[in-house]
Amino acid sequence: INERNLPIYERLFHKNRKNQNGCNIKATFFVSHEFTNYGMVRYLYEKGHEIASHSITHGVGTGFKDEKAWETEMSGEKSFLTSFASIRPDDIKGARAPLLGPGGDDQFEAVSSMLSVVKAS
């Protein structure tokens, strides 16, 4: 979430756009650290969108070789979201692997320990 894509999100989720049930349209944003403007993350969070961890590095050049690497990446981004965007840790209830890559048991264990509910992988 940054200066390049926030205007797109603001158009997509304009307050006059509603679901069929009349509620405002909301989304889950999976956030990785690079190029992220945490003030803008906070802005979307305050608008009622869900914010979730998508890792620190997005797995670029390294991959996540074991449970510790998964934990560092996913919990690290959760920590950034709580520190830099002032999002309550309990409000970060989702995570997604970079590039939707499978991480097997290592990923499951690391993300399970980080989150009370895993919504996507």
Q: What is the pLDDT of residue 57?
A: 80
3-class secondary structure, 24 = strand
pTM above 0.85, yes or no: no
- Per residue in 5-43, pLDDT (tens digit) is 999 999 999 989 999 999 999 999 999 999 999 999 999
Residue 49 CA to residue 38 CA, distance in Å, equals 14
3-class secondary structure, 29 = strand
Q: What is the pLDDT of residue 118?
A: 41
Q: What is the pLDDT of residue 21?
A: 94
The yes or no reply on domain 24-114 and CATH 3.20.20.70 is no
- Per residue in 62-120, pLDDT (tens digit) is 567 777 777 777 888 899 999 999 999 999 988 777 776 777 676 777 767 766 544 44
- Using 50, 70 and 90 to split pLDDT, how confident is the model at 121? very low
User: 63 vs 44, which has greater pLDDT?
Assistant: 44
Are 103 and 79 in contact, with CB atoms under 8 Å apart?
A: no
Return the DSSP state at 4. Answer: T
Q: What is the pLDDT of residue 55?
A: 81
What residues does each domain of the chain span? 24-114
Measuring CA to CA, how many Å separate 65 from each of 20, 80, 95?
A: 44, 22, 18
